[in-house]
Amino acid sequence: MIYYSPCKINIGLHVFNKRADGFHNLDTFMYPIAWYDVIEILPNETFSFSISGLKIPGDPIDNLCVKAYYLLKNDFSFPNCSIHLHKVIPMGAGIGGGSANAAIVLKGLNEVFQLGISNSKLKEYAATLGSDCAFFIDCLPQIATGRGEQLIPANFSLKGYWIKLVNIGIHISTKEAFQNVSFTDKKKSIKEIIGKTKIEMFTKEIENSFEPYVFGLHPNLLEVKQKLLQQGAVYVAMSGSGSTLYGIFEAEPTTTIYQSAPNYFEKIVKCEF
């Protein structure tokens, strides 16, 4: 079976404080983006995992796809399989590509081997693999609170808009970003804001708590944000803890932000959700 594994953006990411368990209390709106990795799952005599497309550093045994496989294998009896990941979405970009891969493997194994696992249970499994993973089980616009695992569907759509993703090849350490995050004092919930506020006004109402630190460390990321606004984006922000910037456009953007940097990418996607 072939599965398509999307990514997401964070529209607003308010970090309030650090919890006793070491995680952080946050409030964010996660929106799925129709840009996909491809995953193939087939029954096989032995378990195997292979990768094509973008190179993924590190030992493949540490890949979230493999961890997802063994997570279910510990609780269910099903045949071995081969999992092949064709990687298109860059890693460490703040858009959840790896988290989606894990969630799609969980869903795929459930379907291929007819395990009968409910969506709510799949989300529980996914949450043990990473805070963003559970979002991709339903893969619908959702508000995430708590440490990111408490998900509430959001009645909000960007259908008809265009999103331009820009990453200039800078890697942001998630651990370092959380250590230096600027806690917000925003009182309104993001759910309330997106329900009552026009997109053009999001800049005044919503923030990404990581931007002050990340932009201070890498001023050229702030320049990218400014260029997206100059191109006509109605809203621009950094996704997650970085370093991808995105702009929301009413019409398909045609100009390019050129950067002669390794691992640079631009992607323009029409909103489908």
Active-site annotation, residues: 8, 132
Do residues 240 and 96 make contact, with C-beta atoms less than 8 angstroms apart?
yes
Nearest-angstrom CA–CA distance, 42 and 161: 36
Helices (H) and strands (E) in the chain, counts: 9, 10
Residues 6+ apart with CB under 8 A from 45: 80
The single residue listed with the structure tokens 């292979």 is: 50
The single residue listed with the structure tokens 């001023």 is: 219
Structure tokens at 94: 């703040």
Sign of CA dihedral 60, 61, 62, 65: positive
Strands (E), the chain: 2-18, 24-43, 48-53, 81-87, 142-145, 150-153, 162-167, 235-238, 245-249, 265-270
